[in-house]
Amino acid sequence: MDYFGYKNNVLCAEDVDINTLAKKYGTPLYVYSHRTITEHFRKIKSAFSDMPTLICYSVKANSNLTFLNVLAKEGSGFDIVSGGELYRVIKAGGDPKKVVYAGVGKTEEEIVYGIKSGILLFNVESVNELKQINNVAKKMKKTVNVGLRINPDVEAATHHYITTGKKENKFGIDIELATTLFTEARKFKHVNIKAVDMHIGSQITTIEPYVKAISKIKKIIEGLNETGAKIEYFDIGGGLGVIYDEEKPSTAAMFASEIKPLFKGMNIKLILEPGRFISGNSGILVAKVIYNKKGGTKNFLITDTGMNDLIRPSLYQAYHKILPVNVNKAKLKLYDVVGPICESGDFLAKDRHLPEVKEGDLLAVRTAGAYGMVMSSNYNSRRRAAEVMVKGNNVFLVRERETMEDLTAKDKIADIR
């Protein structure tokens, strides 16, 4: 469900024609729908409204300041993985008291920043990290709240690059070591173990892996509480899948109705960390076709956007629907939609049937709101795209297109002789 659709044969974001946006702001252009963001957030919120739940939007999926601000105004908390993300959340008006901080490589500087900002808790991913947090907190004469991120060793049935809850993944504390670690951790006087956390992967379209993982971790929480711990929060991470192609992911309501019974009698607050579920279908990437090129065996549409703006197809062979901005009745033709980057892996779509496309036509890459702009780069010295957000018939520029000056702003020509 989203608010991108055709009106009079023209693709619109809510009530705004994409042609108008491309003309005013240029291409490539990320376009977000305010209503899609807020409705997705509200869907999760209402699905869990009958139990104490904190929704911490996962900043890594889309960290634009307006995007975060919209969610902060909805009451969202935030899941972060770096000091930079914490900085963005605070700058966007997010409440640090609703921030949970995961990630396997938190530096001392980042831990200090998290403590000073008064975040809700650090989700700890190793013994050494726990020691480090304890040492830093001691130096700062503080006691900080932590959650133990446990790796439940379950198969999330998604792309292997975005599976995070298997034994061989670098994330979380091995499930068999969790209880021993907890006993050790109680010796640390400057950390308070308040939560148990998991995150099993991303773009998960069935509920079964969650049921398996939650059931395993529930046993651990019960065991810990029997030894005198007081686990207040059960953070079940993010990972809810969205529709890129023909997937049939569970809705927030279906997800909630299957997993809520698992928490019966647990007396815990739930934390959810959805990223893609909220941001995925709330954004599209608009590109212009620069050249139509007939190759030896393929028809290429060469666009002004590529892997530097949206790396998912190149990185994970991810599928994104491609739509013509202006509907035409031309016959279908088979295309590879590619970018201008000097890499054979630079493509947006392969072997797609589209109504015959001409040079200068606009195309929209759907479901580009998550892991799109945040994973963009300046490779080939291309300037990052602009971003706009649409609400009804209002348009807000939420990030300017980078300039040539931006490209070299941090470089220095050293005086080397």
For the bound state, the minimum distance from the C-beta of residue 339 to ligand PLP, rounded and expressed in Å, comes to 24
Nearer Cβ to ligand PLP, position 61 or 72? 61
# of chain residues touching ligand PLP (CB under 6 A): 18
Which of 190, 276, 288, 366 contacts ligand PLP by CB under 6 A?
A: 276
Q: By CB under 6 A, is residue 152 in contact with ligand PLP?
A: no
For the bound state, the minimum distance from the C-beta of residue 58 to ligand PLP, rounded and expressed in Å, comes to 4
| Interface with ligand PLP in residues 361-400 (CB under 6 A) | 370
Which of 202, 281, 303, 314 contacts ligand PLP by CB under 6 A?
A: 202
**Which residues are known catalytic residues?**
342
Nearer Cβ to ligand PLP, position 28 or 275? 275
Select from 237-245, 251-259, 297-305, 351-359 the region that touches ligand PLP (CB under 6 A): 237-245
Q: By CB under 6 A, is residue 259 in contact with ligand PLP?
A: no
Q: By CB under 6 A, is residue 199 in contact with ligand PLP?
A: yes
Q: By CB under 6 A, is residue 88 in contact with ligand PLP?
A: no
Nearer Cβ to ligand PLP, position 22 or 193? 193
Nearer Cβ to ligand PLP, position 58 or 303? 58
Determine the Cα–Cα distance for residues 207 and 321; give it in Å rounded to an integer: 25
Q: Which residues of 332-343 are buried (b: 16+ CB within 10 A; e: fewer)?
A: eeebbbbbbbee
Select from 53-61, 178-186, 379-387, 403-411 the region that touches ligand PLP (CB under 6 A): 53-61
Which of 29, 86, 102, 337 contacts ligand PLP by CB under 6 A?
A: 102
Which of 237, 249, 306, 324 contacts ligand PLP by CB under 6 A?
A: 237
Nearer Cβ to ligand PLP, position 60 or 218? 60
Q: By CB under 6 A, is residue 240 in contact with ligand PLP?
A: yes
Residues engaged in binding ligand PLP (CB under 6 A): 58, 60-61, 79, 102, 199, 202-203, 237-240, 273-277, 370
